[in-house]
Amino acid sequence: MASKPLSPLQIFALILTFSTAFSKVIQIPNPAHTPQSDVDSPARAQPISDQKSLRVGGARPISDPRDPNVVKAAVFAVVEHNRLAKANLKFQSVINGTVQDFGGQMYRLVISAFDGSDGPGNYLARVYYKPWQQLKVLISFEKSVPI
């Protein structure tokens, strides 16, 4: 019995599921603190402050909201939302967000956009972006609740 191939959306859902399931913190020892004698044995744990933490598959904060790739993802989110919802939002800026790397980048962005009737507002968008394949997918776009 032949099975049907998975759709791109099903593949994406599997990637997202596995990336979050296997997301964990890996401790990478600092090379400056390599053992020099029997006193500094490899079995002796180093303090966390002397190690670099790398979150595999985990989201990290965006350090620069004006980064060209971040802005491209945000502008794409607004344009795609306008196309799908027949809206007329005008992109203003990226306020903050996170990015998660796994076979591309999953951006979760808080975007400031102007709607002629309601004035400026904040929107939460999730965009999957694979620049080397020129693939961008708008996962979600919704008005953000003011804090």
What are the 10-residue block averages of pLDDT along the chain, 147 residues in total?
Answer: 66 62 45 48 44 63 95 97 95 96 92 87 95 92 80
Determine if residue 57 is left, alpha or beta; phi over 0 gives left, psi from -120 to 50 gives alpha, anything else beta.
left
For 116, the 3-state DSSP assignment is coil
Tokens of 110: 């808080």
What would you report as the CA-atom Rg of the chain, rounded to the nearest whole angstrom? 21
For 146, the 3-state DSSP assignment is coil
φ, ψ for residue 19, nearest 5 deg? -65, -40
Report the alpha-carbon distance of residue 119 to residue 18 in Å, rounded.
40
What pTM does this model have?
Answer: 0.62
pLDDT at 23: 47
Could you tell me the domains of the chain? 10-57 (no CATH), 61-143 (3.10.450.10)
pLDDT at 68: 94
Residues contacting 109, CB < 8 A, separation 6+: 62, 70, 73, 74, 77, 94, 95, 96, 97, 124, 125, 126, 127
pLDDT at 116: 80
pLDDT at 47: 45
pLDDT at 118: 76
Residues contacting 57, CB < 8 A, separation 6+: 19, 20, 22, 23, 24, 100, 101, 102
pLDDT at 85: 95
Burial class of 99 by CB neighbour count within 10 A (0 to 12, 13 to 18, 19+): buried
